[in-house]
A = this chain, B = another copy of it.
Amino acid sequence: MIKSYLKEKALLIDQNLDKITNEFQNVPATLLESMRYSLLAGGKRLRPILVLATIESLGKDDEIGLPFACAVEMIHTYSLIHDDLPAMDDDDFRRGRLTNHKVYGDAMAILAGDALLTEAFGLIVRGAKAANISQDCLIRILEDAVRSAGARGMVGGQVRDILSDGAKLNAEELEEIHRHKTGDLIAFSIRLGAHLGDASAPTLEALTQFAYYLGLAFQIQDDILDVVGDQEVIGKPVGSDAEKQKATYPAMIGLDQSRAKLQQLTQEAKAVISDLPDLNPQRLLQIADFLLTRDR
């Protein structure tokens, strides 16, 4: 049942991303093609789905979240394009196809990323107008977007990751990198849903905690899949972390302990949102459980 929900919502996101970018006027054809190449490459659409699921959990119509959900996916995609560049992780495959710069060249990949980041803010504005949200709510969402995606958030996490390259990290340092590199954008997605769903302050806080537990669990699962996963299913080479001597949970504490930590974090995530007066947590709990078993 959760599988069909995830499939249905991923399709909805895909359709909307396709429609929105098709409507872009006056964009050079190669740039638009490069943006759409990475944006429409499939992917789990976890972050945008979390936006929609959180709105639904708060008893609101998740349709108002669609432009915002697409904005999050644009930010996520821009970060992947830039992370894959030769100057950064130098990856050739992503989501089962060649990375953006392998097809369009480094310059176009940098610019496609820049454009996706910029246009994401345009989608937030579009969503705010369509849903007629208050100025306070728009400002809260924009502040969250900047904090989560910028120097204090995802970009800061990527910098920490690069600077720690080859260094021996302890668990705390590794967690700090993931908190920003992966966690902040997952937290933004869920907080977006909370803002749009008019969550109370304590529920917003609980959802934020849920998001960071979930984000860390998600990252550990990513690390585990890079050891034991199926390249065909994941869409990118397996074993690349070990090859690059990246700090990962399996490398640091072993596979068994990583799996135990993944279970524990998922339980903690579920616990913080299980008993809130204005939230029906079922969908989010199902997603948390599903992520435990994912193979890509």
Q: Which residues of A contact B (CB under 8 A)?
A: 24-28, 30-32, 35, 78, 82, 85, 87-88, 105-108, 110-111, 113-115, 117-119, 121-122, 125, 128-129, 134-135, 138-139, 142-143, 145-147, 149-152, 155-156, 158-160, 162-163
Contact = CB atoms under 8 A, between A and B. Distances in A.
A145 B78 CA distance: 18
Identical subunits present:
2
B108 A122 contact: no
A68 to B, nearest CB: 14
A115 B117 CA distance: 10
B146 A31 contact: no
A4 to B, nearest CB: 35
B143 A139 contact: no
Contacts of A135: 134-135, 138
Given A118-B146, A122-B150, A138-B138, 20 more contacts: A24-B152, A26-B156, A28-B156, A28-B160, A31-B155, A32-B151, A35-B151, A78-B114, A87-B106, A87-B107, A87-B110, A88-B107, A107-B162, A108-B159, A111-B158, A113-B114, A121-B145, A125-B143, A129-B139, A142-B142
Contacts of A138: 135, 138-139
Nearest to A150: B118
Contact of A111 (B25, B134, B147, B155): B155
Nearest to A106: B87
A122 B143 CA distance: 6
Given A27-B152, A151-B35, A110 B88 contact: yes
9 contacts: A27-B152, A82-B111, A85-B110, A87-B87, A108-B159, A115-B155, A117-B118, A118-B151, A125-B146
Report, nearest first, the 5 A-B pairs whose CB atoms are least far apart. A118-B150, A87-B106, A122-B146, A135-B135, A115-B151
B142 A125 contact: yes
Contacts of A149: 118
Contacts of A162: 107-108, 111
A199 to B, nearest CB: 21
A114 B82 contact: yes
A173 B78 CA distance: 29
Contacts of A113: 114
A258 B151 CA distance: 42
A192 to B, nearest CB: 15
A76 to B, nearest CB: 13
A175 to B, nearest CB: 15
Given A26-B152, A87-B106, A117 B119 contact: no
